[in-house]
Amino acid sequence: MKVAVLGAGYAGLTLARRLERKLPAGVEIVLVNDSPAHLVQHELHRVVRRPSLADGITVELAAVLDRAVVREAVVTDVDHEARTVELESGASIGYDVGAVCLGAETAFYGLPGVEEHGTPLKRLPDAARIREDFLRLLGSGGPDGPDGSGRSSGWRGRVVVGGAGLSGVQVAGELAALAREEGSREAIEVVLLEQAGSVAPNFPENFQAAVRAELDDSGIEVRTGTAVERATAETIVLAGGEELGYGQFVWTGGIRGPDALGGERPTVGNALQLDDRTFVVGDAARVVDADGAAVPASAAAAIREARTVAESIAGIVEHELATGRDGAGGERGERCRGGRTSGEDVFGPRPEPFRFDAPGWLVSVGDGAVAQVGPSVVRGTAAKALKTSVGAGYLGLVGAIRNAADLVNEELAADDRADG
């Protein structure tokens, strides 16, 4: 019997590790990922300012998995009715039970010029490019800059970040802090645009207010209720016609589904299923939980969804092995509508219902941070300590102990630099 996990982000890695413990040794677990490593996505923004952190947030899959077979490949299509996965190489993989954990990609919404000129922040090369472009921008100012005043001329010294969700807030904070560290804060204007009426939209109001206060304290200009219409190499045109010149443009304005799902994020209920043998977990789907609430696309949700799906898959595998349907040939009849076969028991195990209980929210803004735990929102040292402990705790949870230690050490070193 074969269980396929597609993608090794928060959902995929958590699920694969859980299945290793829950499934019998004779069940094959295949983890398909486009890289041999897992990226700690919620720390990616920090690489913009601290390139040395890249190794600390990159976890080799082989080091944290016991028996799952890692196949490095790009998934191009998932046929859940046929239970097959198509790969970029032209090869295909069949499965008996599968989980699509491919995450989400940056959405550009067809806005002219935005994808061409705006740099996303999804992978390590994106962080490296943002840093390089920013340092190049700083080089256009200073005593030897265009006007000799230590300030880049007009729009050339403006960095625009489109989208004030948590990713946009964090990258804007890192860029403002990097400018301060380089002694060029006065030479750079960081502008954060958000179409909604507040930063961190869809989060609690007291959390939004605290995030806005951190941004203001960092000297970042925040413009809410501001939609981007199109972009050129030097100008962003806003809805209403205003033109905003820029020297650097970063785009964190939304997400879409993975290419393997046609760019869509299918809506799934609390069973987290595309059909009775194919699950979709994490940002790849729009999830409505057992309470009827929309689940936010986040690492916390992806990890918790994966835990629930691990229980569901374990129940399916146990049932099929107990009834002789082991996927190795035998009693799998012709495929019926919905992916069910004529040999399967319609009274098989029910999937575990998923209910999301938000553990709280964390966001960093340069050297500052905001944390919400329950109804309470905190800023400053307490929030920073909590964010560091959560990041290190996650790495420890997936078995990356050395990475966790590196993360904590880097945070302590950053505090020393900030104090100095």
Q: What is the pLDDT of residue 387?
A: 79
- Rounded Cα–Cα distance for residues 155 and 276 (Å): 54
Q: Is residue 59 part of a domain?
A: no
- Among 304, 339, 374, the domain-final residue is 339
Q: How many domains does the chain have?
A: 2
If asked whether residues 21 and 79 sit together in one domain, one would say: yes
CATH code, 225: 3.50.50.100
Q: Is residue 64 part of a domain?
A: no
Q: Is residue 42 part of a domain?
A: no
Q: Is residue 218 part of a domain?
A: yes
If asked whether residues 121 and 239 sit together in one domain, one would say: yes
- Among 339, 370, 400, the domain-final residue is 339
Nearest Cα residue to 91 out of 29, 22, 40, 32 = 32
- Among 289, 308, 339, the domain-final residue is 339
CATH code, 322: 3.50.50.60
Q: What is the pLDDT along the chain (420 residues), one digit of tens a residue?
A: 999 999 999 999 999 999 999 999 999 999 999 999 999 999 999 999 999 999 989 999 999 999 999 999 999 999 999 999 999 999 999 999 999 999 999 999 999 999 999 999 999 999 999 999 999 999 875 333 444 344 444 678 999 999 999 999 999 999 999 999 998 878 899 999 999 999 999 899 999 999 999 999 999 999 999 999 999 999 999 999 999 999 999 999 999 999 999 999 999 999 999 999 999 999 999 999 999 999 999 999 999 999 999 999 999 999 999 998 655 433 333 333 234 443 445 567 899 999 999 888 999 999 999 999 888 999 988 898 887 777 777 777 777 766 655 665 666 555 555 555
Asked whether the beta carbons of 103 and 281 are under 8 A apart, the reply is no
If asked whether residues 121 and 234 sit together in one domain, one would say: yes
If asked whether residues 217 and 290 sit together in one domain, one would say: no
If asked whether residues 211 and 135 sit together in one domain, one would say: yes
If asked whether residues 251 and 293 sit together in one domain, one would say: no
If asked whether residues 158 and 210 sit together in one domain, one would say: yes
If asked whether residues 18 and 151 sit together in one domain, one would say: no
If asked whether residues 130 and 228 sit together in one domain, one would say: yes
- Rounded Cα–Cα distance for residues 103 and 10 (Å): 9
Q: Is residue 44 part of a domain?
A: no
Q: Is residue 165 part of a domain?
A: yes
DSSP string, 92-135: EEE-SEEEE----EE--TT-TTHHHH-B--SSHHHHHHHHHHHH
Q: What is the pLDDT of residue 341?
A: 42
Q: What is the pLDDT of residue 139?
A: 86
Domain ranges, residue 298: 2-34+73-104+257-339
If asked whether residues 179 and 206 sit together in one domain, one would say: yes
If asked whether residues 199 and 226 sit together in one domain, one would say: yes
If asked whether residues 154 and 229 sit together in one domain, one would say: yes
Q: What is the pLDDT of residue 149?
A: 40
Q: Is residue 26 part of a domain?
A: yes
Nearest Cα residue to 60 out of 110, 124, 13, 129 = 13
